[in-house]
Amino acid sequence: MIGREDEVREFRQRVWAFQLILLLCFSVLIARLAYLQILKGSALRMFSESNRLKNEKLLPTRGIIFDRNGKVIVDNRAAFDVVALTQFLKNDPENMERLANTLNYNKEEMAKRLEKIGRVRSYVPLLLKSDVSKDIIAAVETANPIFEGIDIESIVQRRYPFKDLAAQLLGHISEVDARDLQQDSKKLIQSGDYIGRMGLERYYDSELRGVNGIGYVEVDSRGRRKKIEGAEKLFGFVAQTEPVPGNNLYLTLDVDLEVVAAEALKSRNFNGSVVAIDPRSGEVLALVNAPSFDPEKISAREINSKMWANLRDNKDRPLRNRAIQDIYPPGSTFKVFMAMAAMAEGKASRKTSHYCSGSMPFGNRRFSCWKAHGPTDFIKSIRESCDVFFYNIGISLGPDLIAKYARLFGLGQPTEIKMAGEQRGLIPDVQWKLDRFHESWHPGETLSISIGQGYVSATPIQLANAYAAIGNGGFLYKPYLVKKIENRSGEMIKEFHPELKRKIEIPQEVFDAVKEGLFQVANAPGGTAIVSGHSKKIPISGKTGTAQVRAFTDIMKKKCEAMPIKDRHHGWFVGYAPRENPEIAVAVIAEHACHGTAAAPIARAVIEAYFDKLQTPESLENTIPNPVEGTQLKTKLSSPPKEVEEIDGEGGDAGPIE
């Protein structure tokens, strides 16, 4: 490098300068790291573990349900749960024993609760006891320094003020499970949400549920909730987006009628159903099922497994909405549709008469009637429920015409009421049997369906709606339960109006004749409901019926009341009031009550309660027609004839006497 010494010297100086700069940089970095790690390490560690926020879901308040008069029938109440924050919980045996005593648990129950600690993330509150009393709240709060990691969490609990009233109609709620989440293709629900499980709570769940909010809680780097020193609660929300409450439902239901109907069934110790409908609109005024249950007890955050098992496995099926889900043979209540078909098709008139000796020969068998009626005309056949008359009518019509007219009145098809699980019942015809059994129709089967037995079946709401259409002259409405939906501010979301399914085109004289027969059932001598269905307050028109549980030959061997309860026949009464321009139609099924006369007083109680509430004027006094002369007689019926006990002579075998 001779001759270039100056360049080499300059290069070496630059290298030394660069090395010096690097040394200074590393010295500053080491000094900074030493400062952060040694001098500020503890403070920064605390800051790192405390300076995070985690969002948590805030459940909305579920919408309120009102009856037609604005009475609250479902709302919400504040409730309190005892929870454990496992990250702060010290499983001290002495303290845990004291906590168990406070929560009214024995050692085994408390141990079972604490077993879940290992299966729950440390930052997730572990439920120890739900919906606790004020005494337990006070005891936990007082002993808060001792019960470290134990807190009281406020929740909103669904409340059903009328307990078991209309439980199957209203439904209940519960927390979503894995199956719900899997079936929710639109991702509208999340884990921890509460949804409707049956009835209106289920059908209108999207309206009632509301929208979740978001709350932010402080957590450490591991996601554990930060303990707030000196705070009243172990943890709290530092910020939140408020949830949107659910919308309110206003029903067509009248809770006062609901109470009357439920008590009328309960006081007579009957299982069954009562449905009341306004024939002018299709509004459901009452819908009762018995037995029932208290939906509040199975809408809680925690459900007693034994209680749920008892409800689920109970042979009396308290969870069942009999009004729309159970089908029964309609018995003699079906005869009015036979009568209308016969007149409309020219197969019978008011003057048509058949002689009833108590039975009728057909083929190589005899088909029974519940008594010998003698000469029986059209009106008398309805008033006294003569099976022989309708056997003859059925033969003249045949199964297909019978099916045509029954279906016109909505039988054998859903009413389209907006509730899940409605059954359609069955109105058979020749083609149905061929498709179902691959067999031709037998003539004897026509006699069975002529009196509402055999393959025929219907739900209580179908019969209530069908009789409403008879009372109003042929207007078949879709029954509905909700009048309007409003948000919490009272703004209208949706309003519901009567929806006419069809106008039944049958001559008015047909309606007049059948309505005359129905009126005489409860208001004229010989009527099957002259005592049980007659009202001194309002003229009731209707029809009794007996739905057989066992074959007719069993009836002939012994009285129904002598049979085991499970083998006794069901009793029907379906009717409306007043006689002209009816305002209410009621169907009652009293299971294992033996006779329709057992169901009639229940319908009468509901109808009278309806008009008592309206304070109907005394001008609606009974007008009783003379069944022979056809003239109008006014009477108080102070000493009515002895009530008959109708047993329809029909069965799956059409009630033959061998």
Q: pLDDT value at position 8?
A: 57
Instruction: Judge whether 470 and 278 are in contact, CB under 8 Å.
Output: no
Confidence of residue 122 (pLDDT cuts 50, 70, 90): low
Rounded to the nearest integer, the mean pLDDT of the chain is 84
Pairing type for strands 65-66 and 248-251 reads parallel
Confidence of residue 146 (pLDDT cuts 50, 70, 90): confident
Q: pLDDT value at position 574?
A: 98
**Beta strand ranges found along 478-515 (DSSP E):** 482-486, 492-495, 500-503
Stretch 14-23: mean pLDDT: 76
Q: pLDDT value at position 300?
A: 79
* Sole residue written with tokens 């003229």: 539
Which tens digit of pLDDT belongs to each residue from 365-376? 899 998 999 999
Residue 489 burial by CB count (10 A; 0-12/13-18/19+): exposed, middle or buried?
exposed
Residue type, 534: H
Q: Which of 25-39, 43-57, 415-429, 462-476 has the lowest mean pLDDT?
A: 43-57
Which of 215-229, 532-546, 629-643 has maximum average pLDDT? 532-546
Per-residue b or e along 233-247, where b marks 16 or more CB atoms closer than 10 Å to that residue's CB: ebbeeeeeeebebbb
What gap in Å lies between CA 384 and CA 31, rounded to an integer?
Answer: 109
* Sole residue written with tokens 């056809």: 630
Of the chain, the percentage scoring pLDDT greater than 70 comes to 81
Q: 176 CB contacts (<8 Å, ≥6 apart)?
A: 189, 190, 191, 192, 193, 194, 195
Q: Is the peptide bond before 578 cis (omega within 30 degrees of 0)?
A: yes
**Beta strand ranges found along 417-569 (DSSP E):** 475-477, 482-486, 492-495, 500-503, 541-547
The CATH number assigned to the domain with range 259-288+329-657 reads: 3.40.710.10
Q: How far is CA 338 from CA 124, 394, 396, 443, 527, in A?
A: 65, 7, 11, 16, 18
Per-residue b or e along 518-535, where b marks 16 or more CB atoms closer than 10 Å to that residue's CB: bbbbbbbeebbbbbbbbb
342: enclosing H helix or E strand:
helix 335-344
Stretch 110-126: mean pLDDT: 68
Confidence of residue 554 (pLDDT cuts 50, 70, 90): very low
Which of 38-52, 302-316, 595-609, 634-648 has maximum average pLDDT? 595-609
Which tens digit of pLDDT belongs to each residue from 562-605? 888 888 999 999 999 999 999 999 999 999 999 999 999 999 99
Which tens digit of pLDDT belongs to each residue from 376-416? 999 999 999 999 999 999 999 999 999 999 999 999 999 99
Confidence of residue 624 (pLDDT cuts 50, 70, 90): very low
Q: Which of 4-13, 31-40, 80-89 has the lowest mean pLDDT?
A: 4-13
Give the three-state DSSP class for 570: strand
Q: Is residue 51's pLDDT more than 70? A: no
Q: Does 596 or 634 have the greater pLDDT score? A: 596
φ, ψ dihedrals at 154, nearest 5°? -80, 140
191: enclosing H helix or E strand:
none
Residue 352 CB: number of other CB atoms within 10 A? 18
Confidence of residue 641 (pLDDT cuts 50, 70, 90): very low
Question: What is the side-by-side strand order in the sheet with 584-590?
Answer: 284-290, 272-277, 584-590, 570-577, 541-547
Confidence of residue 19 (pLDDT cuts 50, 70, 90): confident
Stretch 269-293: mean pLDDT: 97
Which tens digit of pLDDT belongs to each residue from 181-234? 888 888 888 887 889 999 999 999 999 999 988 877 666 554 555 655 555 555
Q: How far is CA 357 from CA 4, 334, 354, 361, in A?
A: 147, 22, 10, 10
Instruction: Judge whether 551 and 329 are in contact, CB under 8 Å.
Output: no
For the chain, the distance separating the N- and C-terminal CA atoms, rounded to the nearest angstrom, is: 139
Stretch 440-444: mean pLDDT: 94
Q: Is residue 619's pLDDT more than 80? A: no
438: tokens are 């691959």
Residue 432 burial by CB count (10 A; 0-12/13-18/19+): exposed, middle or buried?
middle
Confidence of residue 553 (pLDDT cuts 50, 70, 90): very low
Instruction: Judge whether 602 and 265 are in contact, CB under 8 Å.
Output: yes
pTM above 0.85, yes or no: no
Which of 54-63, 75-84, 227-236, 407-416 has maximum average pLDDT? 407-416
Stretch 230-243: mean pLDDT: 63
Q: pLDDT value at position 88?
A: 72
Q: 21 CB contacts (<8 Å, ≥6 apart)?
A: none
Confidence of residue 350 (pLDDT cuts 50, 70, 90): very high
Residues across the chain: 658
Q: pLDDT value at position 127?
A: 80
* Alpha carbon 225 to its chain's center: 41
Confidence of residue 48 (pLDDT cuts 50, 70, 90): low
Confidence of residue 58 (pLDDT cuts 50, 70, 90): confident
Q: Is residue 78's pLDDT more than 90? A: no
Q: Does 392 or 51 have the greater pLDDT score? A: 392
Q: Does 137 or 314 have the greater pLDDT score? A: 314
Q: How far is CA 92 from CA 118, 126, 431, in A?
A: 16, 17, 75
Instruction: Judge whether 248 and 63 are in contact, CB under 8 Å.
Output: yes
Q: Is residue 85's pLDDT more than 80? A: no
DSSP assigned state of 37: I
Domain residue ranges of the chain, discontinuous segments joined by +: 259-288+329-657
Which tens digit of pLDDT belongs to each residue from 166-175? 999 999 999 8
Q: pLDDT value at position 549?
A: 80
354: tokens are 């058949």
Stretch 469-483: mean pLDDT: 98
